[in-house]
Structure 1
Amino acid sequence: MKARNVNIIAIQERYLDIITKQIKEVLGDTINIHPITVKDLQSDTVKSGDMVVISSSQIKGLVTQLIPNDCPCIVAKRDINYMNTKKLLNLPPGQELLVVNDNKMNAEETVQSLRETIFEHNYVAYTPEDNIPQSINYIVTPGERQLLPRGLTNVIDIGPRLLDISTFEKIVKLLDINYPISQIVKRYFKACVSLSGRNKEEIQSNKDIRNVAQYYFEDIISVSKSMKETVQLAKCYSEDSHAIHIHIEGEPGTGKSMFAQAIHNYSTNAERSFISINCSSSDFNTIEKLLFGSEEGEEISYGLFELAENGTVCIEEIGELPLSIQKQLFHVLEKGKFRRLSGSELHSFHCRVITTSSISCKKLVEKELFRRDLYELLAKYSLNIPALSERKDDLLPLIHNVKKRIKRNDIEFTNEVIEFFKEYNWDNNVKHLYNVITYLAFLNGDHIGIESLPFHLRSNYDQQKFNTVFEANNNVNKIIAEIEKHGFLDENIKILDAFYEGKKERISYGRKALKVYLEKKGLILSEQQLRMRLEVLQDLGLIIVRQGRAGSTISRQGEEFLREFYKTGFNV
């Protein structure tokens, strides 16, 4: 009797799980199955006489060196799961389809499978070295979304390729399993149905369909000192092999997600997956399943830590997680191992984890809403993205960047609008600014004034203007009240006028010269009276009194007071 222990060997754990389930569906009642990844394969892993199924010819040379010579060995053939091809079948004939797989050989094998059955279309195997044909209508991929080229958005994922039926025929023959071919065929199609539709829809709905980081550090506007320093620190983290947990904090709209993607793209694993989940947009049960995966009977659902495969997992708004999930996450990050929900086996993962939060996790710790141990773990490599109000030097470059992106370099903003933008409190930071500039760019005309601003901004501008006038009036009233405590408001105003006119002519006055000038203007004061008036004005910061020949002059605060005094209509 031939051995019925079957070792399945593959490179990727994710793919190994899929074909293991497929073999269980077809032959699980007759054989003992042992899945092994190449990295876990040792010279004593496979026992003498056991059967070995190798997932690809690419690893055959390595595997055969590590298994006993008497082991029957099969190099599996793979085929697409035709249960996942409904979208392809519904396309009009004659479509140009770009086929993307993890390497050229696998892409060509996938093309061959498609041509043999769904022959109505034209298929092109994608290679990164070649230019993408201009006429492509859709991208087709067997579960390799993270590898899709940029710029094409019509994606049809037909799910991972499975072992083809001829592989099962070889296994049955070598193990002398007494099953008729008709039974094998029935079970084979049952397995295809069972494994169809397993394209991680839940995860894809949370992020870009291709699991690709779109932004680079070059996309981040960093003219201001604060942003330059933040970008430089982020680059250091990107290149630091020890920075496997990075935490990013910042107000809403500051660009935390952009920084996370830039860090990924600056790292040595830039070609790997970047998968993101937002903890504020899903219920906690769903988040837990998406993070760690689950096992429900024979059904395996892969979590982010498995899907990332040496790439990056970005957990946005981590502060929203309940303490129970925070506890799980802490142990996973600390040990580098996780267990699927309802599963018993520990799985290792190798990916960078970036977390973000719009709320200070330190403050959440103080309120006992965030675990201290998790915070301390994340705080080792942390970034704080400055708010737009803290990086005003970036405002104009940000505006120019939006104009360039939407191809409206022709529009101009009045100085009044620019000054208002600089003073405005952008509640949603850069995101808010981008939305406003985009809105203004699509208005008729190329000259944008205050009257063109959205209603909520115009209202804010009117309120800001009122507040400025009110504050100025209030300030004038306070100064007048202080002067009137000593009396003679009109005399003090005439003294300030004298200094103001002298400053325009670049003339400063000593006390004697000022007394002579005032007498010419009809104001007669004794030496003592003039000294008292000057002391009051100096105490209020309205004049600058200098000793000797330098003389005295009006201060900037004094000039501002005079302007507002006359603007508000006071008469003396």
Structure 2
Amino acid sequence: MSVRKVHIIAIQEMYLDAISKQVKEVLGDKVIIQPTTIKDLHNDTVASGDLVLLSNKRIQGIVTQIIPKDCPCIIAKRDINVANTKELLSLPSGQTILVVNDTKTNTSETIQSLQETFFEHTYIPYSPEETIPDSIDYIITPGERHLLPRGLLKVIDIGPRLLNIDTFQKLNSILEIDTCYSQLVKRYIKSLISLSDAKNELAGTNRTKEIWNTAMYRFEDIVAVSKSMRETVTLAKGFAKTENVIHVQGDAGTGKSMLAQAIHNESRFSQGPFVSIYCSSRDYHIIERELFGSESDESISLGLFEIAGHGSIYIKEIGELPLFLQRKICRVLREKEFSRIGGSQSIPLQARVITSNTKALKELVNEDALYPELYYLLSPFTLKVPSLLERKEDFISLIENIKFRIKRNDMKFTNDVMNQFMNYEWGGNVKELYNVISYLSILDEPIIDLESLPIYLRPDERSKGFVKMIQNEMNPNEIISKIEEHGFLDESLKILRIFCEGKKNHTSYGRLALKKRLEENGMNLSEQQLRMRLEVLQELDLLIVRQGRAGSTISRRGEEFLEHLK
């Protein structure tokens, strides 16, 4: 049997990442796996005879217009990951459980899966149009906890639903893989356990995979109606014609990677490869080997600086690297040469280097999170990508551009929907807008009204169903009492107010930066004292504490708590 390529196609990157890992766990030694989002699917992505696995039936109409006619397509079927249901096993029989998912169809499918396995409970689908019954004992959600207001108790997140065993049987049959059913089941169970350990990683914003690809985007693909975006693109075009290292700064989802690819395609390096590496939340020594390569008496492993050749290497979230590795990269940029780990030979750097970070370089320097000489190297050729809120003039053009790319020019939005779009904060920026429009495109509704929007986007929907529960859970006096048990109420309130002020200015704080801010306000705390206070505030769900240099910020519940105190 010849090894065949399986293209896994989905809308959401997070879900695509999850099921791609699952297929790799089950069939990774039998097939070549190629995950692709709808937005990255082109006419030449899928070759004749390749197998296509679609995340759901609703994207079939879009995909079949792009892929070759002779490619077999399988529609994925999903089921709950039973490896994540330990909390359910411990519940007494007869519980009344509210099930919350992003659409009615997905909610119904989740309830069906739960009923088939945990039949001893009663399940009620969440509807934002209805008040939640007082009889609810627990809330269950399959990886959609962001739809819930913070501060709710008795919420069980069972993680994203994964492919069921029937889907793998179909893959096995079509690909004519000589794996017996018992072996398939064993591998399937292994995949559930493996991905249960990664549940929290998949729910977050950090991705840990490296992207090796060609640069698909050019400057003409970038929507730039607003003055701020036009200025950024104009500056980027000028930078592209130089050979200097270029740094791109912008919030998550603003399109930094798209701009980096456009720079590559506009430069003299465009005939070479475009490779990139993501530096956040990964082992630093692995990143070092992937960048520089390694050699020993037995073998030589090429790194990205070498693989990039006369092309471009894109280092994403460079501020997340430790100072020793930043210093090493700085030396490469300054001397235009490097050595493999374990090797002594100097290798010339021939590629253009592009870096990016969500935090501004000056902010990283102030937090002692950026090697000073690297700051001086990157600062002269830095591009700032504005957030979606800073470029609202681009909004209609962005929507039209997305509709064109996903082949849904017929889709229309009511005035109420457009007003809601314009008033929404779009914390995920252009990427979040793309995901929402892509989701709406698979509903097969020519006119999109407010009822068609994802639950979290509907105006006031979150308050209709949950307001009573929020009022019951938000008890400022109880929170104050719990903080006072530890004896540092005044310090905790000052910490919350600093985080609240930072959030208004789109700034998060690591412990070092927070410690400096507290000292400026006349409060000196040791590292251990500060850690204890942050842990208590996190336990009370008043703070969102993130690892690494992404920094922490106040939660919605924390903001509500400060408002109550006023």
TM range, normalised to the smaller chain?
A: 0.3 to 0.5
- When the two structures are superposed, what TM-score results if normalisation uses the length of structure 1? 0.45
Q: What TM-score results when the alignment is normalised by the length of structure 2?
A: 0.45
| Structure with greater Cα Rg | 1
